[in-house]
Amino acid sequence: MARSVVRPRLPLGLSLVGAAAAALGCTGGVVLIAAETNGTWVKVADEPVPFTVNGTQTVRFGRDTSWVQKPVTAAGMCTALFFGADPAPGLPKECDEFVPAPAPAPAPPPMGAQDFATRCAQPGVVKCVGFDDPSDFNIGNGGTAGAYGQNSGIFPPYGTSDYTRATRDTSVKASGNSSLKFTIPANSSGDSSGSYFTNFSNDLSVQFGENSEFFVQWRQRFSSDFAATKFAGGGGWKQVIVGTGDQPAQMYFSCTALETVVQNTYQRGFPQMYNSCTGSSSHGAFDPFEQRHGAYDFKLENARGSPYCLYSQKDTSYFPPTGKCFPYFANEWMTFQLRIKTGPRVNDEFTDSYITLWMGREGQQSEAVIQWGPYNLSAGAAADDQRFGKVWLLPYNTGKDPARTYPESYTWYDELIISRNKIADPVAPSPAPPPPGSAYTFRKRK
């Protein structure tokens, strides 16, 4: 018998409980049950004709909005006797087989996606760090000074000579031989793990002052415990600091006038940004990129569309469907890219500057989360001639209480690229990314 596709008579989105309740209200006790929502009903017979199916299939009997259904193996009869109930007495009925929708084809890699080696070979790239070589983990002379005075390397947690917290990991990596792994011990202060830094070029020749543009891209992975935990006292762990590059007679640390920071601010569960460790003429230090929304609210990630990423969503949820902040996802390699376009220097600021932050899940295209400007980036005193030229990777969490105990946690970095041009997204990996449900839920431990 030829099969014809018919429209579902019972809305497939109806819940099982809702369908049953609706049926009991209009059919004198016959329970109507909606089938799965990801498929189509196909007519197989009119009452009282026999029908056949392949294997065991879900078949419904009835008409309009009145149906009963049951699993049928091989063959059946399109009759009330066979289905055990008559959902529409005295009216002609039919039998429909439920045909599941085919599985969707795997999504192709985003247009323009490139692997690490290809991205590093593009015009405009000034530095790539794959964390694949032991030299990428330079600790200088060791001790408490670490790589002080070096072009790149690792600092241990302040006042210690502990190099076990910023290490090479050959088992967890986005590509190549290894990645940079930070360990956050169960009891640790804000400077839990030390930091990694690199200048933009080995000879300090590549730095960006006024009227310049550059991009920084990195991959980052978060363990479940690191992503999920709200650390007592902490103001939010940092991801990256882009700041003043070293000068031949001057090494700059992370806290500079220029510093532009990506941070899990107040441990809200998504990245935000701020500028400057000192402040400047038009704004103070640690100036947050939070855009006013209405009379009393703020957009915390101002590039997100409706229902936006709003401060007021703290009382419900920052994440869909209530909010649209882009969360961190645990146990996958996320991609982050930062663009800084400076304007002309006026006194202690790069005026009319623009900052953009993109982020993406593993295997998915990056999306803009912050678009800030025109804005006056702090530039420091003109006589100091500070220029962007150094990037810091670190999980520093100001104010974190070292007396509180949490599960040991981790974050990894890989595929760091600095370029004069926008950098392509990574190639989508072969394994499927974790499902959306892997977005973490905060835990606050007593």
CA 305 → CA 206, 218, 299, 323, distances in Å? 36, 24, 10, 10
- Provide the pLDDT confidence category of residue 112 given band limits of 50, 70 and 90: low
- Segment 191-208 shows an average pLDDT of 96
**What one-character-per-residue DSSP string does 282-319 give?**
TB-TTEE--EEETTTEEESSTT--TT--BGGGGGS-SS
pTM assigned to the model: 0.73
CB 352 within 8 Å of CB 340: no
pLDDT digits (tens, 9 = 90+) for 115-173: 999 999 999 999 999 999 999 999 999 999 999 999 999 999 999 999 999 999 999 99
- Segment 364-368 shows an average pLDDT of 95
Residue with the larger pLDDT of the pair 108 and 320: 320
Domain assignments of the chain as residue spans, ordered by start? 4-100, 116-438
According to the model, what pLDDT value does residue 40 have?
A: 82
Q: Is residue 429 over pLDDT 80? A: no
Beta-strand relationship, 66-77 and 287-288: unpaired
CA 203 → CA 82, 133, 176, distances in Å? 84, 20, 26
Q: Is residue 338 over pLDDT 60? A: yes
CA neighbor of 242 nearest in space, from 199, 191, 192, 179 = 199
Helices (H), 358-425: none
According to the model, what pLDDT value does residue 274 have?
A: 98
- Provide the pLDDT confidence category of residue 49 given band limits of 50, 70 and 90: very high
10 Å CB burial of residue 361 (0-12, 13-18, 19+) is: buried
- Segment 267-288 shows an average pLDDT of 97
Measured CA to CA, the distance from residue 266 to residue 249 in angstroms comes to: 36
We find that the CATH architecture of domain 116-438 is Sandwich (2.60)
Q: What is the largest CA-CA distance in the chain?
A: 96
Dihedral (Cα; 78, 80, 81, 83), 10-degree rounding: 70
Measured CA to CA, the distance from residue 51 to residue 78 in angstroms comes to: 7
Q: Is residue 426 over pLDDT 90? A: yes
- Segment 351-380 shows an average pLDDT of 96
CB 53 within 8 Å of CB 59: yes
Residue whose tokens read 């703020």: 298
- Calculate Rg over the CA atoms of the chain: 29
According to the model, what pLDDT value does residue 54 have?
A: 80
